[in-house]
Structure 1
Amino acid sequence: MKIKSLWLATFFCVAFAQFVFAQTEEKFDFYTRGVYRAGVPRPQTILRYDVGDFHTTYAQMERVIEAIAKAAPDRVRVFDIGETNEHRMQHIVAISAPENIARLDEIKANNARLTDSRTTNASQANSIIQNNPVISWMAYTIHGNESASFETMMQIVYQLAASNEPQTLEILQNNVVLVITGENPDGHERFVTWYNSVATGNADRNALEHREPWAIWGRYNHFRFDLNRDNIASTQIETKNLQKAFFEWNPQILVDHHGQPSQYFFPPAALPINPNLPQPATNKWMDVFGRANAKSFDANRWDYYVRDVFDLFYPGYWDSFPSLNGAIGMTYETDGGGFKGLNWTRDDGSIATLRSAIAKHYVASMTTLETAAKNRVARLQDFYDFRRTAIDEARTDKIRRIVIDPSLDWVKAADLIEILQRAKIEVRWSPSFTMKNARSYTDKNSLPANKNFSGGAYIVDLAQPQKRIAKALLEPDTPQDAAFVKDQMAKFRRNELRGKSQQKEDYAFYDITVWNLPMAFGIDAFWTEDAAQISNSVPVTDAFLVQKKAEKIRFGRAEIAYIIPYEQDAAAVAAIRLLKQGFRVAVATKSLNAASMNFPRGTFVVRVTRNQPTIHQAVERLANELGLTIYSANTGFQDSGDTGLGGENVVSLQAPKIAIVADEAVDQTSYGSIWWTLDRYAVDFTPMTINSIKSGALKNYTVLIMPDGAAGRYFSGLGSGGVTTLKTWINNGGTLITMRGSSVFAALKDVGLTSSKLVGSDDDEDKEKKTETDEIDKRKEAETEAKPSLTPTSNKNKQTAPEPTPPPQELKFDKADGAPPVLPPIASPSANAGKVPEGIPGAIMRATVDRTTYLTYGIENENLPVLLASGYFFRPSKEGTNALVFEPSPKKPLAISGFVWEGNTERLLKGTAYLIDEPTGSGHVILFAEEPFFRGIFRTMTRPFFNSILFNGSF
């Protein structure tokens, strides 16, 4: 018995030991790469905890960096690059060999010379390349709750500052390493403060520490913007700080460190890849760094993947934006930390730890720097050639010149040009010229024609060093790889045949497929193959833009009234702010004649005698702050027409009191884009929880904005009682503004806030109606090659298409093993082929404007480009006004730019509404089909949005 018991005990001990070993990873040692300099403190001596045992706050990190820099001044320099919204300083830590640190300014200046082959010839460039170190930008924690990267950053700084290991010394001799200590300090601080206060290190996925609250969600910055999507419009202060520093240093290598997929990711990237990148060079360098990382990870027996999920198409990432500026930009994703916390149970029962996630980032960072050192000369040469070849390519490209016409909104056009200037794109201005063979952005099938710009315009000639980023941001449409599109269309055809209960294949679009800035801003633009010299053009500088804005500011003291034409977005803002200050403002509901001029409907009127004497100073102050043209009327007599300053069609406005839902049902970035828009215009609002709405808090407010969010969560949060309370408030005069998901909520049968129905829903009475298009047989073979609505380009240098991946907004990275099965082309009896819109990954569509409603005041064009980035299409209201619609029988395609589903999107979108006014009792429900200010990029809905806030109390 004793022997048997001993045998059993031994067996269970061994089995338990094997179980424990399977559950945990070997503890990584961060200090094997010495000898280390004794005077340089390790981070742990300052923090008083080991790597991965606790989350470090921003202030703690600053103490660590300060101590290391003080102890190693021969290798380390710290630069402050600007404050965040919450007044945290962003830093760059420059680390290199002492001889490089001593000549940093010279290195930076020589590196800048490599960015322009027009002033630095090949011989001069070669001299710089032979003598300059490569500049490697290592960025950490752009998503504040991806915490492993933040902890990694301190270990990298210490290793480079303290180690005398030969490989580390080689890195320092051949690199100037720029460590970005925190791309998103404010978001990171929210996350770590919360996490440290609740965490126990519990690996159970249901533990509280893995359930970050809505108000915390540290992924985003102060305004709840995703900073890894912001490089297109550079709306946020962190982006502006980083872009300024980026163009001061002009790095050749850039790594953006992220988390937390199921396994580690490093490039090569997945398809699609932005076609403005030089594909052979891009593929070569991704392969070089990818293979180097693979070798290091194989040596550590760590899992990883490449060419899946993370693409290089959208130009706003912190890998694609640098790549379009000559760097090799790369995203690295580690598998722990963040919402996974200190410990996280994987699907197979093993444990992912914060420490192991830090270790993987640490090894990948060091391997990257070693690879950069070994390839210094080749990398610098390609960096120089990147812009040199771009200029050569531009001289033969189809799009050679882009002209931006500011006449629709001078201030908004200047804002767009400022974005281009931050990206170092060369822009010129001409007061008057004729453009040959001009093609309009809004009509992609238009024939070329001469276009006269008698009022002046901005000119972007693409034969410049910044050609690639300029074209990526400005071209009317960015095509995707044909093989990638074909793969997505094949999935779509198979999904159409699946039954309602069958799980559909996921598409591999990682982000939106449209962003061109002129259309996003609602500014007219034209392109041409002709690039003849314009003799009277001048370079646009910061001072020039300030002057150009000032030229349009007009103010003169009025005796009768001030007239603010709705020619700029800020006109409505001026009215809101004047009302808030207690002044009286009115609006002309018809064309107005005053001050010997004609003004369109929606013009604001501020009568002098009905306001306090301080009205003159208030109006002048707003004109200067907002860049407004304000006219003075010194007589009430009208020269023509039936509407003058004293007419019955000049209606008084009421000051809006605005509340916005800020709660668990709400999409954070949607809330953030509204917050940021109102903040930059200094328009006050109150964030409000759903419980406050249910309890009757809306009685003190005239407007409630429901940002995009989950319709079901809105409904479950409000409940039937909350919906009743909401309806009562609207009936009594309140205005409810919904967008995308919250508009779906409004259209639910059990909510009934609109007579509009969601296309393809169970409540859609028109779903079964046949159209002329429906007579065409849509049942295609699953493997039939599809022709996307907007033609992609092919690229022989790219890799094969990636396997299907989950939508990025789900933040789920686990993928099923293997390729999806090929299904026979036999439709399930419950399939909804051709009846339900497939969600589109962002396209600009052509909407038709109803110019008889107050919602379109300030818009006099017949059509308006609008963003559509979902499968939420809305039937026209049967009882209200459909202010923006998609033509039921269009003569040309509705899609202007971006990807749409062939045979689905346009067919089901025809005849639907984009903006609806649903009068309800004394109030209104205003439905937007999409977010009005998506990422701060899209701004064509600015006027309808402010109109919905401002005018409903008067109509």
Structure 2
Amino acid sequence: MRARRLVWPLALAASLALPASLAAPAAARSPGAPAAGCDPTQTEPVYRGDVPSPEKVLGFELGERQVSAAESDRYLETVAAESERVVSGTLATSAQGRPLKYAIAGRPGLMSKAGLAKVRREAGLLRDPRTPDALAKRITRRGVPILWVSGNVHGNEPSGTDAALRVLRDLGDREDCAARTILDSALVVVLPTQNPDGREAGTRQNVYGFDMNRDWFARTQPETDGKLAMLNQYPPALYIDAHEMGGTSYFFPPNADPVYHETPEQAIGWINDVYGAAMAAEFTRRGIDFFNRDVYDLFYQGYGDSVPTSAFHAAGMTFEKGNASPYPDKVQEQYLTQWVTLSEAARNRHRLLTEWRQMTVDAYEQGKAGKLEPNQVYNPPNEVERQVPDRRVRSYFLRNDDPAKRAEVRTVVRRLQRMGVRVERLVRPLTVPDFKPYGRSAARTTLPAGTYWISMAQGQKHWIQAMLGEDSYTPFPYFYDVTAWSLPLLANVAGGSSGAVLRPRAVPVRTLPAPRPGHEGKAPKLGVLQLSETSSSARESAGWLRHRLDRDWRLPFTRLTTADVAAGKLAGIEVLVTPDGPASPAYDALGDAGRTALQEWTRGGGRYIGWQGGAQLAARLGLTTATLSEPTSDIPGSLFRAKVDEDGPLADDVGGTVWNFTAYDLVMRASSGVAVSYPEADSPGWFVSGFERGAAELGGTAAVVDQPAGEGRSVLFAAEPNFRALTDGTAKLLHNAILGPDPEQEAAPRASATAKAAREAARLPSPESPIRVSVKRAEAAEAASVLRSVGAKWSESRSGGVVHYVVDNPRGLPTDHHPFAARLPSLIRRAGITPVAVTLP
């Protein structure tokens, strides 16, 4: 049954409005319980008429069609201009120069500068565990929580924006008890669109190819960075993130497992038992189809629900509406979930503030005791397969005694500080009895003065562990995203942890400035070859690279296509960088002319740098002796310690090891020119942060090769060195590959060796964002039956006792827009299969 749309004619709304002379002055009201019998959704809306309707401003009602980014801004500013309950501002400017407009709504008494400052100050006091209990109780009795409503982080998922504008109009103009309940008991921040460039282009990603629902902890994009700066000013107790997915159903929490272990239990209680329960009751009453406890997890610490939960102790809420529904229905259901959730938060104002405060106190006490939260599951019959180690962690340290790494260390420190983490610096050496360096055993260690110290005895304890822990301790093998994101490992900086009670001589560190972009030395004439305009992997990888070149290194470059190469446009290019993308279609698209041009350019003295599909293309063209093969392991996105050849030019300022990010990447083997390699799996140097099954196959193989190709050179990475522009450690290898000198001349490779590499590369598939399912051999028949039932097409391989299915996804659709990917985990579970791994695109 389709939802009944609550669309009220303007004339009726006006007739129900209270005369201004009879309305109670909102500024005089204080937070309290809602009026008895005031139902959030069944109360008839009463509009004052101060705020013009969307039809009067835009020429159509919200939901008739999607608003443009400019129309959204115009209506938001209209509401703010006409309502004393609303103020507006701009929190960031997108890469293409569009503003990210926000509005703040509340009772008029809060809307002055002094009123808003008071709300911010009280929120800060509740988030500080040092605040006296008596003061905290007074704030929880009289204060208001800050509730966020945001939409459209994926530009091609527009309906959350229109719904948020409806919410804003209602908060700005409605005078009935349902609206007053929210206004009297909360401050609401409305951010209608988080990705205006993507909205205008109709793309999931922003202009640089970033999925900004993965960018929250790294803050590489201006849209994300500005949003988090605003969140730190107005810390949320509730954060709504409205999306769209495939189909016609609606998802709202409870979430699927896994849930990250450092997720406060009170927040999960609000997500599951308060907001989730309220929406389930409303959707059931209306007969609207919905589901929960499936598909959308709360694990990776880069989402718009997980970061508000771990970093702000908010109830982070992902809402997903099926995009196959008519647009008016999509907007109506998005509006319904937003309004119901805001209403439930307001109706429970005192409890919400009390528990929000308690989460900070609990976090501080846990950090003081060195207690890490354990893994658990929330949706039986799932079971924890990997538990958090039973080890005390009271302190983290970041070493600052390597001049070559100081910029990366400062970047990590700054990211912590900008999320409210207190960082101190040792003024005297400190002997730590149980210092555990990342990926090593604990030992008595003296840390030098200048080392950064991060105590876990802070209200931000959960976030500290999420960012500085050496592993995510994935509880069981279901992966909606990557499983490793430790900031020190991504940056390749030295540090570690201790569980001892320490009293170091240390001083607080002021928030460090942003790093200065740029590069040293002469920039080469640089080309970037994007292997496909339609492949999602090519667009993302090339976009991440363009961002790094534009924003971080300030290196000018020329964008090239396969057609450009075939047309002779490599002339004048000195270094060509080829990111990921489908290698076989690109090889064909080059044609004989393009292939010959690329071979002659490289062998004539050009420097070819490629990774993943770009490396596979180089092998097919005979530019390397390195052989590539499909992995037989399950590595959904993990960090591996790798050895660096310190005598080679790629090692400059990197050191002897680097943390290499890999996710089902090709296995590369080479007998010469190995610049970075994986340790043997049984050696002391072997360590993996994140999930892996069968990763020992990487032991002793190459991660990066640097080989001569005629008079030129090919530098090939098996994995993405610039993943989401946050793997700063391996990005330095890429930086050196572009700007550094050539290595000492090696003997030219034998034609037979390059021919073998080309033959093996030609046999490799070029899957686009595939779905991967791995099961034990005994359950292979049942797994194949599940795949056939949804119409999947797949390739199959076997290793040891495991069968690996790689399911074709030719359009590169993400899970939430794929016709069956989201259903696979539950179908596998219902078939009685215990998978080795299920990895969704």
TM-score range, shorter chain: 0.7 to 0.9
Aligned to 2:737: 948
Going from structure 1 to structure 2, the CA distance change for 1:437 and 1:709 (only over 3 Å counts) comes to: farther
Among 645, 650, 654, the alignment partner of 1:859 is: 654
Measured in 1, the distance between the counterparts of 2:90 and 2:679 equals 53
Q: Which residue of 2 aligns with 1:676?
A: 547
Indicate the residue corresponding to 2:585 in structure 1. Answer: 713
Q: Which residue of 2 aligns with 1:741?
A: 613
Letter of the 1:425 counterpart: V
Note the residue ranges of structure 2 that are not aligned, 5 or more in a row.
14-43, 371-391, 746-841
Greater gyration radius: 1
2:151 matched to which residue of 1? 140
Conserved 8 A contact 1:232-1:937: no
CA RMSD of aligned residues (A): 2.4
Matched, 1:58 2:52: no
Query: Which amino acid in structure 2 is aligned with residue 182 of structure 1?
Result: T
Q: 1:738 to 1:136 in 2, by over 3 A?
A: same
The reply to whether residue 447 of structure 1 matches residue 442 of structure 2 is yes
Q: Which deviates the most, 94-103 or 464-473? A: 94-103
With over 3 angstroms needed to count, the CA separation of the structure-2 counterparts of 1:87 and 1:853, relative to structure 1, is same
How far 1:160 moved relative to its partner?
1.6
SS of the aligned residue for 2:728 comes to coil
Identity of aligned residues (%): 27
- Matched residue type, 2:124: A
Question: Match for residue 7 of structure 2?
Answer: 29
- Checking the alignment, whether the CA contact within 8 Å between 2:164 and 2:338 is kept in structure 1 is no
Question: What CA distance in whole angstroms lies between the structure 1 residues aligned with 2:526 and 2:46?
Answer: 65
* Aligned match for 1:526, one of 487, 490, 496: 496
Match of 1:269 among 252, 255, 259: 255
Distance 1:152 1:84 in 2: 22
Higher RCO, 1 vs 2 (CA within 8 Å, ≥6 residues apart): 1
SS of 2:156 mapped into structure 1 = coil
For 1:110, which of 122, 143, 146 is the aligned residue?
122
Decide whether aligned partners of structure 1 residues 747 and 116 sit closer, same or farther in structure 2, where only a CA change above 3 A counts: same
Shift of 1:101: 3.0
Distance 1:261 1:143 in 2: 13
Aligned to 1:7: none
Q: Is the 8 A contact 1:93 1:179 kept in 2?
A: yes
The one of 290, 302, 326 equivalent to 2:313 is: 326
The residue type equivalent to 1:273 in the other structure is V
Query: How many Å separate the matches in 2 of 1:287 and 1:30?
Result: 31
Give the C-alpha shift of residue 461 in structure 1: 0.5
Measured against aligned partners, the alpha-carbon deviations of 1:18-54 in whole angstroms (never above 9, x if no partner) come to: xxxx9x9876636684221223111122221343443
Is 1:926 matched with 2:715? yes
1:303 and 2:289 aligned? yes
Distance in 2 separating the partners of 1:132 and 1:294: 29
- Structure 1 residue 363 and structure 2 residue 341: aligned? no
Moved more, 276-285 or 174-183: 276-285
Question: Would the alpha carbon gap of residues 453 and 166 (structure 1) be closer, same or farther in structure 2, given more than 3 Å must change?
Answer: same
Q: Do 1:696 and 1:725's aligned partners in 2 also have CA atoms closer than 8 Å?
A: yes
Q: Deviations over 1:136-184 (max 9, x none)?
A: 1111111122111122222111122122232122111112111013212
Report the equivalent of 2:276.
Answer: 290
Q: Which residue of 1 aligns with 2:57?
A: 46
For 1:742 and 1:377, how far apart are their aligned partners in 2?
A: 56
Residue 359 of structure 1 deviates from its aligned partner by: 1.1
Paired with 1:288 and 1:335, the residues of 2 have a C-alpha distance of 23
Corresponding residue number in structure 1 for 2:482: 512
Q: Which residue of 1 aligns with 2:638?
A: 843
| 8 Å Cα contact 2:649-2:742 kept in structure 1 | no
Task: Tell me which residue corresponds to 1:894.
Answer: 686
User: How far apart are 1:310 and its partner, in Å?
Assistant: 1.0
Per the alignment, do residues 280 and 98 of structure 1 end up closer, same or farther by CA in structure 2, a change over 3 Å counting? closer
Paired position in structure 1 for 2:28: none
Give yes or no for the alignment of 1:471 onto 2:469.
no
Q: Corresponding residue for 1:425? A: 421
Offset at residue 546 of structure 1 (A) = 5.2
Asked whether the 8 Å contact 1:838–1:871 carries over to 2, the reply is no
Q: What is the distance in 1 between the residues matched to 2:588 and 2:274?
A: 51
* Residue 938 of structure 1: how far off its partner (Å): 1.1
Q: Secondary structure at the match of 1:439?
A: strand
The amino acid across from 2:232 in the alignment is F
Q: Which residue of 337, 344, 366 maps to 1:393? A: 366
Q: Secondary structure at the match of 2:258?
A: strand
Aligned counterparts of 1:431 and 1:656: Cα–Cα separation in 2: 46
Question: Is 2:98 aligned against 1:88?
Answer: yes
Amino acid at match of 1:374: R
Q: 1:56 to 1:950 in 2, by over 3 A?
A: same
Superimposed CA distance per residue, residues 405-447 of structure 1 (whole angstroms, 9 cap, x where no aligned partner): 1233112211111111111100001233123124343333x13
Cα deviations by residue, 1:635-670 (Å, 9 ceiling, x for unpaired)? xxxxxxxxxxxxxxxxxxxx3433342742453332
Asked whether the 8 Å contact 2:530–2:581 carries over to 1, the reply is no
The 2-side partners of 1:160 and 1:281 are apart by: 25
- CA distance in 2 between counterparts of 1:274 and 1:759 reads 33
Structure 2 CA distance for aligned equivalents of residues 464 and 53 of structure 1: 48
Q: Aligned partner of 1:416: which letter?
A: V
> Of the candidates 281, 303, 314, which is equivalent to residue 300 of structure 2?
314
Q: Go from structure 1 to structure 2 and tell me whether the alpha carbon gap of 1:684 and 1:30 turns closer, same or farther (over 3 Å shift).
A: farther
Q: Give the Cα separation in 2 of the matches to 1:126 and 1:431.
A: 38
Shift of 1:889: 6.2
Q: Which runs of 5+ in 1 are unaligned?
A: 1-21, 192-217, 337-343, 345-351, 489-507, 551-568, 581-654, 761-835
CA distance in 1, matches of 2:699, 2:709: 26
In the alignment, what sits opposite 1:541?
510
CA displacement at 1:282 relative to structure 2: 1.5
1:289–1:371 contact (8 Å) kept in structure 2 = yes
Aligned mates of 1:84, 1:746 — CA distance in 2:
35
Partner of 1:574: 520
3-state SS of 1:36 partner:
coil
Provide the TM-score with structure 2 as the length reference.
Answer: 0.77
- How far the C-alpha of 1:859 sits from its partner, in A, is 3.4
* Secondary structure at the counterpart of residue 309 of structure 1: coil
CA distance in 2, matches of 1:62, 1:285: 30
**Alpha-carbon separation, structure 2, partners of 1:386 and 1:76:** 30
**Which of residues 699, 712, 725 is equivalent to 2:597?**
725
Per-residue displacement from partner, 1:291-327 (whole Å, max 9, x unpaired)? 1111222233221111111111111111111101211
CA deviation string 1:346-384 (max 9, x = no partner): xxxxxx222211111110000101111121111111110
Distance in 2 (CA, whole Å) between partners of 1:391 and 1:745 is 52
- Distance across 1 between alignment mates of 2:183 and 2:655: 60
Query: Could you tell me how far apart the structure 1 residues matched to 2:77 and 2:531 are?
Result: 38
- Post-superposition shift, 1:278? 2.3
- Work out which of the residue numbers 347, 351, 365 in structure 2 matches 1:378: 351
For residues 570-613 of structure 1, the C-alpha deviation after alignment (integer angstroms, 9 at most, x for no partner) is 7xx301xxx24xxxxxxxxxxxxxxxxxxxxxxxxxxxxxxxxx
AA in 2 matched with 1:166:
C
2:145–2:186 CA contact under 8 A, matched in 1:
yes
The one-character-per-residue Cα deviations of 1:724-750 (angstroms, maximum 9, x if unpaired) are 3221221222222111232233345xx
Task: Give 1:232's aligned residue.
Answer: 217
Q: Deviations over 1:701-754 (max 9, x none)?
A: 112211112233323432454323221221222222111232233345xx4433
SS at match of 1:477: coil
Find the counterpart in structure 1 of residue 136 from structure 2.
125
> What is the number of equivalent residue pairs in this alignment?
681
Counterparts in 2 of 1:521 and 1:438: CA distance versus 1, 3 Å: farther
Residue 759 of structure 1 pairs with residue 769 of structure 2 = no
Q: Is the 8 A contact 1:839 1:872 kept in 2?
A: no
TM-superposition CA deviations, 1:452-497 (whole Å, max 9, x none):
314x11110010111111111111112122xxx2xx3xxxxxxxxx
Tell me the CA shift for residue 389 of structure 1. 0.7
Deviation at 1:915, TM superposition (A): 0.1
- 1:448 deviates by 2.1
Partner amino acid for 1:229?
A: R
